[in-house]
Amino acid sequence: MGYNITALFFCLDEFCKSYEEWEKHRLIDTGKKRDRSCQMSLSEMLTIMVLFHLSPCKNFKYFYTFHIMHLHKQDFPTLLSYTRFVQLMPRLFIPLCMLLQSLFGEKTGTYIADATSLPVCHNKRINRNRVFKGLAARGKTTIGWFYGLSVLQIYAGEERM
């Protein structure tokens, strides 16, 4: 991988400092603390997740055990085992969503919509399909008819004058 891990970690560490400060003010204190502390910091764990999404690897276990544990062990001195990291991954959901939301940029008002069809089953098996009953419907694309879901993707574009 040709990424500068130190620069990426620095940016994510600055984000995590502001996130942890925001999180302290947003949560109601109940007096009980059940979350066990972790050896790895939130910014280190987010760095690993961002590196996985930037890598060509499609399997997280392979990425973690080969790339992180062998090739980048010196970059993460308090590296967790694969199973412990997977147990802690739900903690990363909200910070990762907030990071992505903050990186979207300014809303320009110009957007492009793209509808993608997700066929559920072959047209011959429409009557037998019970999994997506009530969700899926018949639709038509330029290729032909399908039975499934239609997903709308919106891309932000630059405003042109």
Q: What is the pLDDT along the chain (161 residues), one digit of tens a residue?
A: 467 888 888 999 999 899 888 887 776 666 666 666 678 888 999 999 999 988 888 899 999 998 898 888 888 888 899 999 999 898 889 899 888 888 877 777 766 666 778 888 888 888 888 887 788 888 888 788 888 887 766 565 554 43
Residues 62, 5: Cα–Cα separation, whole Å: 19
Residues 107, 23: Cα–Cα separation, whole Å: 25
> Nearest-CA neighbor of 78 among 51, 48, 38, 46?
38
User: pLDDT tens, 65-92?
Assistant: 988 988 888 888 888 999 999 998 988 8
Residues 70, 90: Cα–Cα separation, whole Å: 24
pLDDT of residue 34: 60
CB neighbours of 145 closer than 8 A, spacing ≥ 6? Answer: 123, 138, 139
Name the residue ranges covered by the structural domains of the chain. 5-27+38-103, 110-157
Length of the chain: 161
pTM: 0.61
Is beta strand 110-121 parallel, antiparallel or unpaired with respect to 145-157?
antiparallel
Residues 133, 36: Cα–Cα separation, whole Å: 42
Residues 66, 23: Cα–Cα separation, whole Å: 33
